[in-house]
Chains A and B, each alone.
Chain A
Amino acid sequence: MELFIQQIINGLLLGCNYTLIAIGFSLFFGALNVVHFSHGDICILGSFILLILYGISQAAGLFNTLPALISIPIFVFTAVLLTGLFGVFFEKIVIKPFRLSPELMVLVATVALGIVIRETVRISYPQGSNPQIFPAIFPDGGFDISTLFIRYDSLIIFVSTVALISGVFLFVQKTRMGSAIRAISQDIEAAMMMGISVNITVSVTFFLGSALGAVAGILNGAYIGIIRFDMGLMGGIKGFSAAVVGGLGNIYGAILGGLVLGFVETFSSAFIPGGTAYKDVLAFLVVIFFLVFKPSGILGEKVFEKV
């Protein structure tokens, strides 16, 4: 029984990661009707920024003066902030120029941006083609709940994902800026007429989405122990698929979609003999199933026409 619960935890943690990426896709799609295909690479960019910050401070001997309990949150915060700003910057140079163009152009532009980010990381990081060991930013060990062993890192990942999602939800629902985001996602022209600055609102949306992506990249790096420059490719596709399964543009949908994918993958390798080799196949079959039979996703209201 505890093994079954353990598998549920495994699926939940994978789902958390997909959810954090999927929320970004949903935010961007909601705000601008764009599918930001380099979002996965931005997530990995976040984890690489943390890696660089960590490397620099290790070389500078910062850890001797500052305990890890204080320094690591500072690094994570800085990396997330920087990635958010990168997200805003990329929106300005790659997505904004196409605001009035056909959707296909933005799509191609974001795919191209993804390649640029990926290859830049590969070329500029020393031995960037190789997997990099990710610093152990979480405490090792864990605690027992009767026979079940809960690791601290799993707990931190789960709690911070839930906290962030709730934070985003409150931000979007309760703040002035949040209503501006919702307003432009409903009708961008009407929102403009009401005096909402589209540029600022879009920038905030991209900051939010990219920062959440950076958190996803960092948590994933810490969970697994390594990062590689091209991990964002699959991560982005999975995150996007999660958003589509749940209903693109809907935050609850992103959560549901992330969990569906996480559980399908985990359970197919846990309970189907030899199923691990097919876990991606099964996960994407689920995606295809939704695209065919419920293209709006589990919670989506508007029909998703075409990418």
Chain B
Amino acid sequence: MRRVSTTLTICAIVLSLMLIFSASGNVAFAKTVKIAFIGPLTGPNAAQGNGAKNSFDLAIKQANKSGNFPYKIEMMTLDDASDPAVAVSAALKAVSDKDVAAASGHWNSSCALATIHTFHSFKMPMVVWGAISPKITEYNYPEISRSCPTLVQENVPFAKWVITKLGNKKFCIISDTTDYGEQNTKAFSALCKKYGAEILSVDAVPTGTTDFRPILTKVKGINPSAIYFGGVVMEGALVRSQMKKIGLNKVFCAVSGLADPKFIEVAGKAAAEGTIITKPGFDLDELSGGKNFKAAYKAQGYSEPMGAYGIYAYEAANIILAALKQVGPDDKVALAKALRNIKFDGIMGRTTFDKNGQTELAPVTKLVAQDGKWVTWENSDYAAGKRTLPKP
């Protein structure tokens, strides 16, 4: 009995000490406002997520340095591992922390579609930095806005380019079975109809598929002029490398799902050659702000490259910070409203959101894989006529 009471006393002392320390902790850091960043930091899309995380981190660091904020801004980094279930628990972690004023999330549309309801019910403003399914903003939640263009916005200039400019009229579509793949197939099919191209086959594969030879052998028999890939880096790279292995020499094209150096690394320099894609936004080297951003990113010495969506994460962070500066961190409803009405002059131009929270700034850059690098189409040997894509 005596022993029990001693244990209890010790427990009580420890507990009260903990309380005191945590209370004093709160006092010391009272002036910290957190912004949550969620992205795929592990898993198949980790390259995209880490590049975006670093860019986001850079924006926060610059804001803290600028002295524009009377409080310290801290980034809360959460991993969604490209898995909607993990994404929701990450979102719950963000919304349940009272210091978090706003969040920015997701590269995978499936993750964003899973978490927007959480952010909506907790009234936390969230800017999507990289997920491009049109459905995300169709819900029209006042808390959700998006700084990158949707895949519909992205597919339009892409289709115009590949079909009317490059003259490809017969397509085989390979996509993944995720929402991203499905939406791409839908958007691109509609555009094919519009621009007078024909779709000869559609195949959807579960993500994680590694052997595409059966589909590609079939496609070889169908003999299209181009293969449209509606998926992301890893599967895309495997499709491309296996296309080469079975001797399927056709145009391979996609929207920004493949816009990552990792694609070329996995597919192999020789196999990746001539892959054509579009990527939202402008070439950073063409913009003065872009050059500064690249230099600042380099100066931080991050171990991962920024990837195609780094700039969007950076812009998303700055948009949140601009709104935060306008209305402060305390009233989340006002913050969401300020975000919706923002006119933000970023690196790529002026971001405004439409009535659904979708950015109206949607330029695309055309890229081609050349000598193991993504090169802007206009500056490539292909546009100059020195090299040729497979004939349509």
In the complex, A270 Cα to B209 Cα: how many Å?
A: 15
| Closest B residue by C-beta to A10 | B213
The answer to whether B214 and A266 touch across the interface, beta carbons within 8 angstroms, is yes
Partner of A225, one of B202, B221, B241: B241
A112 at the interface (CB under 8 A from B): no
> Which among B42-50, B64-72, B340-348 touches the partner chain?
B42-50
A125-161 interface (Cβ within 8 A of B): 127, 129-131, 133, 149, 151, 153
Once A6-B246, A130-B43, A133-B265 are accepted as A-B contacts, the answer to whether A274 and B204 lie under 8 Å apart by CB is: yes
CB nearest neighbor in B for A127:
B46
Q: Answer yes or no: A102 CB below 8 A from chain B CBs.
A: no
A274 close to B203 (CB less than 8 A): yes
- A133 — which chain B residues lie within 8 A by C-beta? 265-266
Q: Which residue of A lies closest to B50 (CB)?
A: A127
Contacting pair B204 A277 (CB below 8 A): yes
CB–CB B234/A131 < 8 A: yes
Using a Cβ–Cβ cut-off of 8 Å, how many residues does chain B contribute to the interface with A? 33
Residue A78 lies at the interface, judged by CB distance under 8 Å to chain B: no
Residues of A within 8 A of B380 (CB): none
Q: How far is the CB of A79 from chain B (nearest CB, A)?
A: 20
CB-CB nearest in chain B for A268: B214
Contacts of B201 in A (CB 8 A): 273
Question: With A and B bound together, what is the CA distance between A270 and B205 in angstroms?
Answer: 12
B247 at the interface (CB under 8 A from A): yes
Q: Which residues of chain A from 247 to 272 have any CB-CB distance to chain B below 8 Å in the complex?
A: 265-267, 269-271
B266 in contact with A269 (CB, 8 Å) = no
B81–A129 touching, CB < 8 Å:
yes
Which B residues are CB-close (under 8 A) to A6?
Answer: 217, 220, 246
Main secondary structure of the interface of B (DSSP, over half): mixed
Q: Knowing A133-B265, A277-B205 touch, does A226 contact B210 (C-beta < 8 A)?
A: yes
Distance in angstroms from A263 CB to nearest chain B CB is 10
Determine whether the beta carbon of A3 is less than 8 Å from that of B205: no
Contact A226 B238 (CB under 8 A): yes
Q: Which of B47, B202, B213, B246 has the most CB of A within 10 A?
A: B213
Q: Say whether A179 faces chain B, with CB atoms less than 8 Å apart.
A: no
- Contact assessment for B218 and A277 in the assembled complex, using a CB-CB cutoff below 8 Å: no
CB <8 Å contact, B221 and A3: yes
Q: A301–B321 Cα gap in the complex (Å)?
A: 71
**B234 to A270, Cβ gap below 8 A?**
no
Q: Find chain B residues with CB under 8 A from A224 CB.
A: 210-211, 238
Shortest Cβ distance from A176 into chain B, in angstroms?
40
| B167 CB–A CB distance under 8 Å | no
Q: A208-230 interface mask toward B, CB cutoff 8 Å, 1 = contact, 0 = none?
A: 00000000000000011110100
Once A129-B42, A129-B43, A130-B46 are accepted as A-B contacts, the answer to whether A280 and B206 lie under 8 Å apart by CB is: yes
Task: Indicate if B375 sits at the interface (CB-CB under 8 A).
Answer: no
Q: How far is the CB of B44 from chain A (nearest CB, A)?
A: 6
Binding site for B on A (CB under 8 A): 3, 6-7, 10-11, 14, 127, 129-131, 133, 149, 151, 153, 223-226, 228, 231, 234, 265-267, 269-271, 273-274, 276-277, 280
Query: Can you list 30 A-B contacts (CB < 8 A)?
Result: A3-B218, A3-B221, A7-B217, A10-B211, A10-B217, A11-B214, A129-B46, A130-B46, A130-B47, A131-B234, A131-B266, A133-B266, A151-B245, A224-B211, A225-B268, A226-B234, A231-B210, A266-B214, A269-B203, A269-B205, A269-B215, A270-B215, A270-B217, A274-B203, A276-B203, A276-B209, A276-B214, A277-B203, A277-B204, A277-B205
B residues touching A (Cβ–Cβ < 8 Å)? 42-44, 46-47, 81, 177, 201-206, 208-211, 213-215, 217-218, 220-221, 234, 238, 241, 245-247, 265-266, 268
Additional A-B contacts beyond A130-B47, A224-B211, A228-B44 (17; CB < 8 A) = A3-B220, A6-B246, A7-B214, A11-B214, A130-B46, A131-B266, A133-B265, A223-B211, A226-B238, A265-B214, A266-B214, A269-B205, A269-B215, A274-B204, A276-B203, A276-B209, A276-B214
